[in-house]
A = this chain, B = another copy of it.
Amino acid sequence: MAQKKLKMGMVGGGEGAFIGNVHRMAANLDGQIELVCGAFSSDPVKSKRSGEALFLEPSRCYGSFLEMFEKEQALPASDRMDFVSIVTPNHLHFAVAKAAFEHGFHVICDKPATFSLQEAKQLKDLIEKSQKLYGLTHTYTGYPLVKQAKHIITTGQIGDVVKVVVQYSQGWLAAREDTSGKQAAWRLDPAQAGISCCMGDIGVHAANLMEYISGQRIIELCADLNSTVMGRQLDDDGTVLVRLSNGANGVLTSSQISIGDENGLAISIYGSEASLSWRQEEPNTLWMKFNHQGAKMIRTGVGEFCDEALAAIRTPAGHPEGYLEAFANLYTRFAMQIRAYPSQLQDRETIPGIEDAIRGMAFIENAVSASISDIKWHKFII
């Protein structure tokens, strides 16, 4: 029987939202997925207007996620949405995902996965019960050269990992007066963002990338989170020193007040034989360096790549692929898992899932509690 595009519903991402549109473009790119319905806003009129601008049938632009799940569940299988994409503010992620699983839908969700570690653990239980698929969009793991870096390390080409330095530096919260609009407002509001702004928004990406590429886990940490602008309740900057599971040390610096920095995520992994460096803002270049020979510049599409990296490349060398392509790689892999379901469950190597969700939430909570302690080192507790 002929295959069809997978049908996606979306919660959140109405007019004016940034990340919702990113998810939609990522889902569109490879022509594997079509958006068929959405609860784009808690305001039904706005939701409908958002959906129509996306060429949806008005009848499938819902006023609430519950309504969407119920009505879609009632549709014949050939029309019904296959999975939901959750792009609401953080505090709603859990409730939407829970309802999705309860109505039998797979879930792909923006990060951080939940509002708290506790919710993330509950989510895990729900996933195990429902046996549905769950994908978490740690976008940066979708870049081909991130996958290649992981492969180089896994295959022992840099020797033992000795040190990891990761930096995620932005400047958009540097302004003293709040000039950054709606985004800044909810990111800095504990009721919507949770216990952390900077670590919760971007530090968690850095921690995920550190663990993903190095193949190690954070087991101890020392944290110094800062709120550099008077009156802020949450951190806008911070550094976390870590010990990794193999004894390597790491430094994670994250900031949203580093004025002039755009989306400066960069990682260096130093091994006993060689090192790797990668910068998200120039994602098609990966450096492999040595002490006693010239460095090797690995460029997307030039030379040999591991299967995972190859599958993530769409164009020949020199045709820059960027953030949306990396994001699309997650969606396309998630789509492949849905097509293979239930013979194959979610595979953390190809798209982050609930384990990453839990470690991410744990990272945020551990960093915050270590930061307010006078003791230097703390075990990483889940």
Contact = CB atoms under 8 A, between A and B. Distances in A.
B296 A273 contact: no
Interface in A224-263: 224, 226, 228, 237, 239, 241, 249, 251, 253, 255, 257-263
Contacts of A304: 293
Interface in A55-98: 55, 57-58
Interface residues of A, number: 95
A275 B261 contact: yes
Contacts of A253: 165, 251
A121 B263 CA distance: 45
Contacts of A301: 262
Interface string A198-233: 000000000000000000000000101010100000
A283 B314 contact: no
Interface string A23-49: 011001111001100000000000000
A263 B317 contact: yes
A314 B2 CA distance: 34
Contacts of A295: 260, 296-297, 299, 302
A298 interface: yes
Interface in A1-37: 2-5, 18, 21-22, 24-25, 28-31, 34-35
A129 interface: no
Given A294-B296, A295-B299, A263 B316 contact: yes
B163 A258 contact: yes
Contact of A376 (B167, B257, B260, B373): B373
Given A259-B271, A273-B259, A291 B29 contact: no
Interface stretch (A107-115, A322-330, A353-361): A322-330
Contact of A375 (B268, B270, B376): B376
14 contacts: A24-B31, A165-B258, A174-B272, A239-B251, A255-B270, A258-B268, A261-B275, A261-B289, A262-B299, A288-B294, A290-B302, A297-B297, A314-B324, A321-B322
